[in-house]
Structure formats: C-alpha cells, structure tokens
A and B are shown apart, each in its own frame.
Chain A
Amino acid sequence: MIRITVNGELRSAEVEGCESLLHVLRERFHQWGSKNACDQGECGACSIFLDGDLVCSCLVLAAAADGCEVVTVEGIGSDLCGRRVQEAMVEAGAVQCGFCTPGFVMAITDLLKRSPHPGPLEVREALAGNLCRCTGYVRILGAVAMVAEGADR
C-alpha cells in the first residue's frame, strides 16, 4: 500500500512492484491528464511535480513515490504561474493535438518558477525534454515569452 498526495488530496493504492507512478496516476487514481507517449522518459508528456521537482512520472516507480506530494496538470491551475502558462498556451496557439500539452504546461511552469525571465537558449534547453509533433514549438516558445513578459505587469 502506498500513499501519495495528488493535487492536495491524499490517495492510496495497492501497487505491483513494477508499476510506474504514471501508471498509478492514470489507471488507479484516474488522473488522465499526464500522458503516456513513450514510456521511457524521452517525450516529457507525463511530466509532473514530485515534491516540487519536475520529473517524468513514467520513470518513477510508484512505490518510490510513497509519502510524496505530486502535482499534475490537473492541479497546476491552482498555482498562479501554472494558470498563466495554461492561458498563454491557448492564446498563443501553442496547442494543436494537445497530447504533449500537459507535459509542456508542467515544464514551462517549472522553468518560469525558477527563472521568471529566461533567455532564449535557457528556454529551449529547459523544454528540450518535451517532444511536440504538431507545432514545431514556435508558438510554445511564444507562450513562454507571453508569460515572462506578463510577469512584469
């Protein structure tokens, strides 16, 4: 039995030894926002905050997250920066199919919390672990700029 706080709510589940945190979030807690695109930490679509750190939840054993606090894309909107990122993604046209979007929302929020005014290469390096096949990233980078500029106002 493991206990994890997911978006502020304490959840528990019996898990098998090999289950990933992503699998438990999706299949046991029915938090479907984190996505399963590669299952080997290459695409970033399953990105979450684990005790405040940005991680690929497909690479974390669920058992290892026992006692941890998890924030997923479903919960990030209650954070001001997270909500601004979500709004900017829509407004900038950074969303097409949307499968990578939850991961980008988490990765951009993580970046902007650490570095509210990142330089262009810093942004690209921070988001290089998230794959998008639709947008060519141009408007995703635009959304980052939108939030970073808005932070001044």
Chain B
Amino acid sequence: MTSPPPAANPYFPVTRNGVGAAVPRPDGPAKVAGDFTFASDLRAPGMLYGRTLRSPHPHAVVRKLDTSKAERLRGVDSILTAAALGCRPMVGLERRDQPVLAGVGDEVRYAGEPVALVAAATPGLARRAIELIEVDYEELAPALDPIEAVARGDWFRQQTIRAGDPREGAEVVVHGFYEVGQQDQAPLGPEAGLVIPDGIGGIDVWTATQALHADLGQLTEALGLSPERCRIHLAGVGGAFGAREDLSMQLHASLLALRTGRPVKMWYGREESFLGHVHRHPALMWYEHGAGRDGKLVFVRATIVLDGGAYASTSPAVVMSAAAFACGPYRVPNALIWCAAARTNHAPNGAMRGFGAVQVCFGHESQMDRLAAALGVDPIELRRRNALRPGDRLVTGQLVGGGAPVLELIERCQSLPLPDFTRAPALTGGAGRLTRDEDVRRGVGFALGFKNVAFAEGADDSAQARVRLERRHDRAVAVVKTAAVEMGQGIVTVCQQIVRTELGVDEVELEPADTLIGPAGSSSASRQTWMTGGAVRDAAAEVRAEVLRRAGAPAHGVAGGHVIDVEGMALAPIATFLETPIEHQSEFHHRKTNALDSDGQGDAFVALMFAAQRAVVEVDPEAGLVAVTQVTTALDVGRAINPMQVHGQIEGAVAQGVGLAVMEEIVQRGGRIVNASFTDYLLPTTLDMPEVLSALVEHAQPEAPYGLNGVGEAPLIASPAAICAAMRAATGRSLVKIPVTPDHLTGLQEVTAPRQVVPGEQPLGSDHTPGGAS
C-alpha cells in the first residue's frame, strides 16, 4: 500500500467538506442577513389572522358560549366553536385524547385549553373578537397534586422495573428525596404558521414543527381529509427542544382556512407560547441506594412521580424513559423502580430534550454523592467502581452494546483543565456587585448521564431520503429530498456532508422538507442524523453504484468530482456519466426493539449515549448568588459527523442545563402559569454562561451509519446534576431541588419531601391511615 497522494495533486482528487469536517451550515448566510423565512414571517395575498380563545380555568364545565358580539365586529370573518365544527375531532401525539375545542357541556381540563377560534382581517381585530366572546364556566375543583393523583391510580402510564431481588439489603444505605421544577423549552421562535386552502377541499400547511408526518396524521384525522389533500411544508423553525412535537396552531389555522376559504396565518405571542406547548415534566423522586463497604452498588429503589398535566402528550414514553434510566449508567444487580405520570389539571407536560432522563439523573447522581459521603469514598471513584461496561445488562435486562465508554468518559472529563483558582472569582454583576472576593466559595461537582437514541419500545421510526445526481453546465450536482426537520440542530449540513462523502461531489442542494416524500420521523430523541443520515447514505450509495456501473472498469470509486480508480487516480469527471440523471430513494430502519413488560424487562432501546460532566461554581452564600464558571463534558459521540455542530449541541445543552440548575422554572398557582414571559421566566444570558470545555469520545456505534451516535440530548442530562453537586460542595447545603434559588443557597428556605413515600412503592394518598383501609 502506498502512502496517500498529496491533496493538491489534480490526478488524485479529494472530496472536501464531507463526513467528519467542521462545515458551516448552508442556511447560515440567509440567517445572518435576515433573509431566512421563519414560520412567523409567512404571508399570502388575502390572508386572515387566526386567534385562539383559551380557558382561564384549570378545571371547569363550559355552560354557555356566546359569540354574537364578536360576530358583529366588522372585519371578523369566522368564529369557530365545537358546535360549529359539527363533529368532535380529537388530537394528541401518542393518544388522541384532547378535544380540539371544548364546547358547551364539555369540561376544560387546564388553564389554556382552546375553546373558540377566530379569523379576522387584522391581528388586532382577531384579538378584539376573542375578547368579545362570552363564555360562562362552572368552575370545578382542580386536581393539582400529582402525588394524590397517582395514589388513586390516575395516571397516563405507570411502569415498574424489577431486577434481581428488589428486597435485597446492604451494608450502607442512603435515602433521599429530590425534586425537579418544570422547565420550558423556550425556543426563541414562537409557534407560527400559514395555511392556504387549495380551492378543491385540500390545504397546504406551512408550519414550524419537529415531525411533518406526525402533524399530518393528526391533521388529516381531525379534519377528515385524505392524506393527499393535506400537504405540510416545513417553514423556518426557530428552535424546538421538544416544544414542537405536539400540535399547536396547525389544526386551528387549518380549520379556519377550510371554513373561510382563505389563507389563515397564526402566530403566538410569548405568553400564549407558554400555554400552547407542553413543558418538561416536573418530578418528585424518592430514592434509596444500598452498597457494600467496597462501594459496589447492591440495590437501587426509587419512586418517581411526574406531573403529566391534563392530557397524555408524550407522558407514556417519558415514564418509560425515566423508569429505565432511573439507576444511572451503573451496574445495579437489584432494583425496584416505580414510576408514573399523574393526570392533573395542570397544562400538559411532554417532550423536552432529555425526556425523563434529565429528571432522574438529578436523583441518581445526588444519591451517588450521598453514598460516596456515607462510604467515605471519592464520588468519582465510586462512579468508576460501578460504571456500566459493554456486555453488562441494564436494569431492564437489555445487554449494553456499542462502546458504552463510561470509564473513558470519566477519565476524559476529568482530564480537561479546571479553571485557574488563583485568579479572582468570576461572579459578575458589574457595578452592582456587592460580593467581596474573600466571601466567595468555590465548588466542583461531577455527574454521569445516559439515555437511549431514537424511538424505543418497538417503534419503527424509519426515515426516507431521495438522492438525485444530475449534470448542470458540466458539473455534477446532487439534490437531496427528505422530510427531516431542520430546527437549528444542523441536519441540513449533515445531509450535505454525507452526500459529498458518498458521491464525491461538492455541490449538494437540499429540496424543501415536506410531506411530498415519506416520513423522516421526528427531529427528536437524538435520532435524526442516525436515521435520515442513514437513508441519505443508502440512497447516495445506490446512486454511486450506478455511476460506477456507467463508467465501467476500471472505475472503483468517486472523489473530488471524479470517478477514480483503485489507486485513487482520476479517470473522468462524474458529470461525464450523467447524460441522464441518476436517482434513488431509500428507507432506513433501525433494529427492532420491544416494549418493556410489566416488570420493566425488555430489549427496548436501539442504542445508548453517555456523557460525563463536571461543573465549577462560585457562590456568595450570604447573598445566595451563584455563578457557574465552567462546565466540562466528555461525550460519547460515536463518530463526529460535524465536530463544530457537535460542540454547538454540547454548548447549547449546557446552557439549558445551567438554566434548569439555577434559574428556569415555570411557576404555577392554582393551576395557572404565573410567569409566562421572558421577563419572569429567566433564561441564561451571556453573563450566566460558563466556560465550556468538551472532549468528543469516538467509539463507533456498530449499527449506526459511519459509527455515529446521537448527541443532542446527552449533554443536557447530567449538567444540572453536576452544577447542583458543585453548589452543594460550595455551601455544604443539601439542595434537593433544582432550580436552586438564592433562598436555598442562603438556607432561608429548605425543600423537604411533601410526603413520606417508600422508595419503589406507589405513593399513598393523604387520607391513608397506617394500618387502616386506604
């Protein structure tokens, strides 16, 4: 074998910007110039503006609905109520359990539930019309306590996991109660879209979503349209993070467009956005860990209560995820996990980046630190002793495949440099800073997190892609078509890179994503690069095979726009063989999985992704101020298709982890969100953002294209736990709830368990008397 020829040699062409390169995204230039069209920027001639009337009550019966005043308002085109629909369509991502509109005699089950729709000539008129609709509600007592709900069996899913002997005892046992607040995805782009009727009973929908075909299924069912009559086109998506998995305005605007026969645009303001999408499940967790004196885990028992809110959304899948990952990435021979998502009259909770794994990670990692303290062992050493290794089994019985480089992640994360502790503390605040340097306490925390990639439990979330190679002015140009949603994560860049690698061409065009091709599945569960990337790779490989067939011997491959021989030498430009274009469509499936059984056993996951994270904080314990100064991450990336984008995912995930750890929480009183704005719901800014250092650990995922692994979620799973651990180290306080507030840091307020619950068992209701009938 000779050494590779120099890149500059024209006879040995090289493909640039393919798999593994840090390529800038193709939509970047339009986005920095303000030329990129987001869903809220859409318009059409003659369009109307839609708006939704929502219930102000968390639980009530609609007794009377009077739209007559609103109808008389000049400029109001249509008002839709449940009665006007004439049927009772239901929507919902996993279960169709939510009425599209609550009508007279119906219950509203959360504050924010849609009751009526308006289409008017201007946004202002639509708002006025909404105010003129008179609704009489008979208020009912809302169910707001998730513990009471699960105590009486009112849940969207309950999952138990039993491994080994769930009643096993141990030499060292630690207990803990932990709580995670309700986080909002807070994508900067609010829900928005435009629906245009085609005049023959069908519609074209432009919207910002995470899964075009999931929307299509719900829309066509609810509208009673055949799928050919409804075409969904991806409009520019301003971030998602789980908030766009469920429908928001898509169906409302479609109903109004079909009713009025005119284009209808809807977009939410920030307050309505908080009501119009699901949030991360708040969690209450009771844990018990047992270990031998040698520090080896003997058992984990836990009860995890999630608040599902009023409708199912993705609660069933989140329950599975929280239960399955409740023990952390450790060897746990005996486990008993009881997990459920309660049905309450809070706004529905569902998907957010990390999907159940974030909440339980805060629980299991807090416990590992507690256990380390009880054993007198270094917390990182304790994690090393118990780390999952390839060939181990999860508590769900599944064999751990792939790299599972937990030990290596720990080492790599620890090997990243700590900040210089000799320099002055970084607590910011400018002129308003009151803290004296000598009062600042530093702390370091460490956490491990893991989660599955792609949909679990038997889902066949396959992806389709079509690749065409054609000649344009003697150049070979590839054109790619998928329904994969680009929401900021960079699937568009990845698709181009894959096609360049497979076809050896520079120019790769992406056709708009829409439902005119088969599904790509959701841009969620860290799956899109794996799944759509796999379909694009396969389709492109077929196209390449046809190029080589046309070229004939001695053609061996493609590179740098040329067909090359076995030595890598150019034979002829690829365009030579494109007298007619070559096109191929592929469908990519991941391996089959199974649902968990009633003991939580099953081969439920396609693959796992792991992360190790370390956080450094500086705390002013008197004022209760905290600055997260550094977060380091070692991430199990399989293979980095685009290292710049992988780092971007880590940095963005760390920011959301900082938010959950120290500031982000939706506050509800009496079933109503009271901080539905960016003034009151705090997001990290440049002043809150720590230094971020990352190590990409590359061990090929055996079944994934190019050996890649999902990367979107893992760096958010452990970061809140690591940051909280650092705050504990700095203050010595127990800090059992995130986000940690100034009052928690000063000790003015302490969070305690709202109820005694035996870890691993179903919580009992407050009316339960010990020994008596419940």
- Given A37-B189, A99-B38, A135-B651, A128–B685 Cβ distance below 8 Å? yes
Contact across chains for B428 and A124 when beta carbons are under 8 A apart: yes
Contact across chains for A91 and B34 when beta carbons are under 8 A apart: no
A135: contacting residue among B24, B270, B648, CB under 8 A: B648
B504 to chain A, nearest CB (A): 25
Please, how many angstroms separate the alpha-carbon atoms of A136 and B652 in the complex? 4
A63 at the interface (CB under 8 A from B): no
Binds A, one of B2-10, B89-97, B237-245, B608-616: B237-245
B280 to chain A, nearest CB (A): 14
Contact across chains for A89 and B28 when beta carbons are under 8 A apart: yes
A131 at the interface (CB under 8 A from B): yes
Residues of B within 8 A of A73 (CB): 32-34
Which B-chain residue is minimally distant from A103 (CB atoms)?
Answer: B188
A22 to chain B, nearest CB (A): 12
B187 at the interface (CB under 8 A from A): yes
**Residue in B33, B35, B190, B236 whose Cβ sees the most chain A Cβ within 10 Å:** B33
Q: Give chain A's interface secondary structure class.
A: loop
A40 at the interface (CB under 8 A from B): yes
Contact across chains for A35 and B38 when beta carbons are under 8 A apart: yes
Number of A-B residue pairs, CB cutoff 8 Å, is: 182
Contact with B along A77-92 (1 / 0, CB 8 A): 1000000011101110
- Given A38-B270, A93-B24, A133–B187 Cβ distance below 8 Å? yes
Contact across chains for A136 and B428 when beta carbons are under 8 A apart: no
Contact across chains for A40 and B24 when beta carbons are under 8 A apart: no
Contact with A along B159-193 (1 / 0, CB 8 A): 00000000000000000000000000111111000
Contact across chains for A133 and B33 when beta carbons are under 8 A apart: no
A53 to chain B, nearest CB (A): 19
- Given A32-B37, A37-B238, A73-B34, A137–B686 Cβ distance below 8 Å? yes
B390 at the interface (CB under 8 A from A): no
Which A-chain residue is minimally distant from B690 (CB atoms)?
Answer: A136
Please, how many angstroms separate the alpha-carbon atoms of A102 and B650 in the complex? 23
- Given A32-B41, A37-B270, A74-B35, A42–B238 Cβ distance below 8 Å? no
Please, how many angstroms separate the alpha-carbon atoms of A38 and B38 in the complex? 15
Contact across chains for A131 and B188 when beta carbons are under 8 A apart: yes
Residues of A within 8 A of B188 (CB): 35, 37, 43, 45, 97, 99-100, 131-134
- Interface positions of A from 90 to 141, Cβ below 8 Å from B: 90-91, 93, 95-102, 105, 121, 123-125, 127-141
Contact with A along B132-152 (1 / 0, CB 8 A): 000000000000000000000
Residues of B within 8 A of A31 (CB): 34
Contact across chains for A137 and B655 when beta carbons are under 8 A apart: yes
Residues of A within 8 A of B686 (CB): 123-125, 127-128, 130, 137, 140-141
Binds A, one of B333-341, B457-465, B487-495: B487-495
Please, how many angstroms separate the alpha-carbon atoms of A113 and B648 in the complex? 27
Contact across chains for A90 and B28 when beta carbons are under 8 A apart: yes
Please, how many angstroms separate the alpha-carbon atoms of A88 and B652 in the complex? 19
Contact across chains for A96 and B187 when beta carbons are under 8 A apart: no
Which A-chain residue is minimally distant from B271 (CB atoms)?
Answer: A39
A21 to chain B, nearest CB (A): 15
Which B-chain residue is minimally distant from A30 (CB atoms)?
Answer: B43
Please, how many angstroms separate the alpha-carbon atoms of A26 and B42 in the complex? 11
Contact across chains for A96 and B488 when beta carbons are under 8 A apart: yes
Determine the interface band of chain B, counting residues with CB < 8 A from chain A.
Answer: 35 or more
Contact across chains for A131 and B685 when beta carbons are under 8 A apart: yes
Residues of B within 8 A of A85 (CB): 32
Which A-chain residue is minimally distant from B489 (CB atoms)?
Answer: A96
Please, how many angstroms separate the alpha-carbon atoms of A42 and B35 in the complex? 23
- Given A93-B644, A137-B655, A121–B683 Cβ distance below 8 Å? no
Please, how many angstroms separate the alpha-carbon atoms of A79 and B482 in the complex? 37
| Interface residues in A, total, Cβ within 8 A | 56
- Interface positions of B from 110 to 147, Cβ below 8 Å from A: 123-124
Residues of A within 8 A of B31 (CB): 95, 98, 101
Contact across chains for B652 and A98 when beta carbons are under 8 A apart: no
B551 at the interface (CB under 8 A from A): no
Please, how many angstroms separate the alpha-carbon atoms of A27 and B644 in the complex? 36
B679: contacting residue among A35, A42, A89, CB under 8 A: A42
Contact across chains for A131 and B678 when beta carbons are under 8 A apart: yes
Residues of B within 8 A of A100 (CB): 188
A33: contacting residue among B27, B35, B43, B124, CB under 8 A: B35
- Given A16-B124, A136-B692, A125–B430 Cβ distance below 8 Å? yes
Contact across chains for B687 and A133 when beta carbons are under 8 A apart: no
A133: contacting residue among B35, B270, B647, B652, CB under 8 A: B652
- Given A45-B188, A139-B648, A124–B270 Cβ distance below 8 Å? no
Residues of B within 8 A of A45 (CB): 188
A36 at the interface (CB under 8 A from B): yes
Residues of B within 8 A of A38 (CB): 270, 677-679
Which B-chain residue is minimally distant from A98 (CB atoms)?
Answer: B31
Please, how many angstroms separate the alpha-carbon atoms of A26 and B123 in the complex? 13
Residues of B within 8 A of A16 (CB): 124
A20 at the interface (CB under 8 A from B): no
- Interface positions of B from 644 to 674, Cβ below 8 Å from A: 644-645, 647-648, 650-656
Which B-chain residue is minimally distant from A93 (CB atoms)?
Answer: B644
B652: contacting residue among A43, A96, A102, CB under 8 A: A96
Residues of B within 8 A of A74 (CB): 33-35
A34 at the interface (CB under 8 A from B): yes
Which A-chain residue is minimally distant from B691 (CB atoms)?
Answer: A138
Residues of A within 8 A of B692 (CB): 136, 138
Please, how many angstroms separate the alpha-carbon atoms of A38 and B40 in the complex? 13
Contact across chains for B651 and A138 when beta carbons are under 8 A apart: yes
Contact across chains for B270 and A97 when beta carbons are under 8 A apart: no
- Given A40-B678, A136-B692, A138-B689, A98–B41 Cβ distance below 8 Å? no
Please, how many angstroms separate the alpha-carbon atoms of A48 and B33 in the complex? 13
Please, how many angstroms separate the alpha-carbon atoms of A40 and B656 in the complex? 22
Which B-chain residue is minimally distant from A126 (CB atoms)?
Answer: B686
Please, how many angstroms separate the alpha-carbon atoms of A33 and B124 in the complex? 22
Please, how many angstroms separate the alpha-carbon atoms of A85 and B683 in the complex? 24
Contact across chains for B644 and A40 when beta carbons are under 8 A apart: no
A72 at the interface (CB under 8 A from B): yes
Contact across chains for B678 and A93 when beta carbons are under 8 A apart: no
Contact with A along B262-284 (1 / 0, CB 8 A): 00000101100000000000000
B702 at the interface (CB under 8 A from A): no
B36 at the interface (CB under 8 A from A): yes
Residues of A within 8 A of B584 (CB): none
Which A-chain residue is minimally distant from B689 (CB atoms)?
Answer: A137
- Given A72-B34, A135-B651, A95–B28 Cβ distance below 8 Å? yes
B640 to chain A, nearest CB (A): 13
Residues of A within 8 A of B471 (CB): none
B25 at the interface (CB under 8 A from A): yes
8 A-B pairs (CB sep. < 8 Å): A32-B34, A37-B190, A40-B679, A98-B238, A133-B186, A134-B239, A136-B653, A137-B689
Residue positions of A touching B, CB distance < 8 A: 16, 26-27, 30-40, 42-43, 45, 72-74, 77, 85-87, 89-91, 93, 95-102, 105, 121, 123-125, 127-141
Instruction: List 4 tightest A-B contacts by C-beta distance, closest first.
Output: A33-B34, A97-B488, A99-B238, A98-B31
